[in-house]
Amino acid sequence: MAEITPLATVECGQRPIREINQEIKALIAAGRTGIELAGPGARHNLGVGIVQLARIHIRGSAGYYCAGLIDGPEFEVDGSAGWGLAESMMSGKVVVHGNAGNGAAAAIRGGTVVIHGDAAARLGVSMKGGLVLVGGDCGYMAAFMGQKGTLIVCGNTGEAFADSMYETTCFVGGKVGDLGTDAVIEPLSEEDIAMLDSTLATHFSAGERARKPAPRAFQKIVAGRKLWNFDKRNWQWWREAL
């Protein structure tokens, strides 16, 4: 993490999004790596495409694609975030204190996304790495086609959870609404339990953590690998899958 300089404030107001993002990028280029966005007004595309180390604090809610296509910075959103939160992130950290809309952490290749509230549908879809942690529930088709990385949902999931995955590993503390095609439950290992314990301790306060299930209560879901290659013996799987 870059050294934090005195906090710079970017007033969002009714300014064009281009102007807001260009001001953020100009501040970072000038070495002002601690930035707060005041009055974000749930504007779309806040903080998109930032590829430098910085800490950006959004004092309110953000719209679609907040922190999308980033590599390196850390974002904190006081409110909620719209669709496509942190999509295609390469590295960095995005923390949302409220809820997140559809497709949060879609296609991320690295970094960490923490959503303290609930996540809507298609959480972590096509994720290719990184860590996604949701304090509450998630909607349908979370982790769909997950390729790599770890997805943790402390609450309940929606339908078709972990459908058609490759190598993403999922953990669910609540009830799995419905397993997707080729998703299988696997026993937790001691390493898994240690990882869950440490991850929850890292990202949640003690009080918050106390309200989450104990690491041993989580279920682990991985790909059954039946869809990885076409095989006529599995035609009934394919009928469901395609």
Which range in 66-74, 111-119, 173-181, 201-209 contacts another protein by CB under 8 A?
66-74
Q: In sequence order, what DSSP letters do the residues of 50-63 get, joined into one string?
A: --S--EEEEES-B-
Which range in 32-40, 69-77, 112-120, 171-179 contacts another protein by CB under 8 A?
69-77
171's enclosing H/E stretch is strand 169-172
Q: Does 228 bind another protein (CB under 8 A)?
A: yes
Q: Does 102 bind another protein (CB under 8 A)?
A: yes
Q: Residue 60 or residue 149: which is nearer to another protein going by CB?
A: 149
To the nearest whole angstrom, how small is the minimum distance from the Cβ of residue 1 to another protein? 19
Q: Residue 8 or residue 106: which is nearer to another protein going by CB?
A: 106
3-state secondary structure (DSSP) of residue 4: coil
Q: Is 16 exposed, middle or buried (0-12, 13-18, 19+ CB in 10 A)?
A: exposed
Q: Does 224 bind another protein (CB under 8 A)?
A: no
Which of 128, 169, 176, 199 contacts another protein by CB under 8 A? 128
Q: Residue 40 or residue 173: which is nearer to another protein going by CB?
A: 40
Neighbour tally for 204: CB within 10 Å: 18
Q: Does 10 bind another protein (CB under 8 A)?
A: no
Neighbour tally for 2: CB within 10 Å: 15
User: Tokens in use for 167?
Assistant: 């190598």
Largest distance between two CA atoms of the chain: 63
Q: Does 126 bind another protein (CB under 8 A)?
A: yes
Q: Cα(11)–Cα(22) distance, rounded to whole angstroms?
A: 12
Percentage helix, strand, coil, to 5, in the chain?
Answer: 20, 25, 55
3-state secondary structure (DSSP) of residue 198: helix
Q: Does 88 bind another protein (CB under 8 A)?
A: yes
Which range in 5-13, 85-93, 131-139, 150-158 contacts another protein by CB under 8 A?
85-93
Site residues, another protein (CB under 8 A): 17-18, 21-22, 25, 44-45, 48-49, 51, 63-65, 68-71, 83-84, 87-88, 90, 102-103, 106-107, 109, 122, 125-126, 128-129, 145, 147-148, 164, 166-167, 227-230, 232, 235, 238, 242
